[in-house]
Amino acid sequence: MNTDDINFYTALVQGKDAWHGLDVQNRRFFPLAGWNLNLIALFSTSPYAFMIGNALVFVVTAFCFYKLSIHTKAHRALVFVFFVTFSLTVGYVKITTQIIYPELTQIMFLCLFFLGAYHVYMKLSNDTHRINIYIYISSCWCLWGIVLFISKRFLLSLLVVLAFSIFSLVFYLVTRALKP
């Protein structure tokens, strides 16, 4: 546990909000940094509650990862090995076991974005139900916005999401042009 954990936890126990990630003087802007902590603190300020919240985020991330792997028809053993390896990396274990890291929920929203983007691609490929396509696209844009505002690594998040979006668009256009 580091001093940020103690400061965040003390503020939440005292009924204050967790730091929101806005510090103009130090050029830090990630306003959704403490959203999950503030939400959990509405119900309980027990350290166990915060760890259960982190565990739920991990479960949602695992579910998204699993759904994506099923849709891409990846080999199940390789998916399992990759996910276990990813889950046990030092960085991921650190952000999962400490309460101050907004990157945990950023990874969750990024996985939700990828899952939503996959569904958009599949809906566009089938050319059916235009209203559903717009709902999926709107949902992806909302998830993209959340990913950008949840972490201090704004530019890195922006580059990942833009690269994925551009690649998906080019892939869609190429496969559409090749359709008989």
Residues 87-132: tens digit of each pLDDT: 888 888 888 888 777 778 888 888 888 888 787 777 766 665 555 6
pLDDT in tens, 28-60: 666 777 788 888 888 988 889 988 998 999 999
131 or 175, which is more confident: 175
* pLDDT (average), residues 140-149: 68
Find the domain containing 107 and state its range. Answer: 3-178
- Conformation bin of residue 19: beta by default, left when phi > 0, alpha when psi is -120 to 50: beta
Residue type, 155: L
Q: Is residue 73's pLDDT more than 70?
A: yes
pLDDT in tens, 8-30: 777 778 887 766 666 667 666 66
Q: Beta partners for 29? A: 22
Burial class (CB in 10 A: 0-12, 13-18, 19+), 19: middle
Q: Which spans in the chain are helix H?
A: 3-13, 35-41, 47-71, 76-87, 90-97, 103-126, 130-150, 154-178
- pLDDT category at 158 given cuts 50, 70, 90 is low
Output phi, psi for 54, to 5 deg.
-65, -40
* pLDDT (average), residues 73-89: 83
CA 8 to chain centre: 21
Q: How many domains does the chain have?
A: 1
The predicted pLDDT at position 65 comes to 85
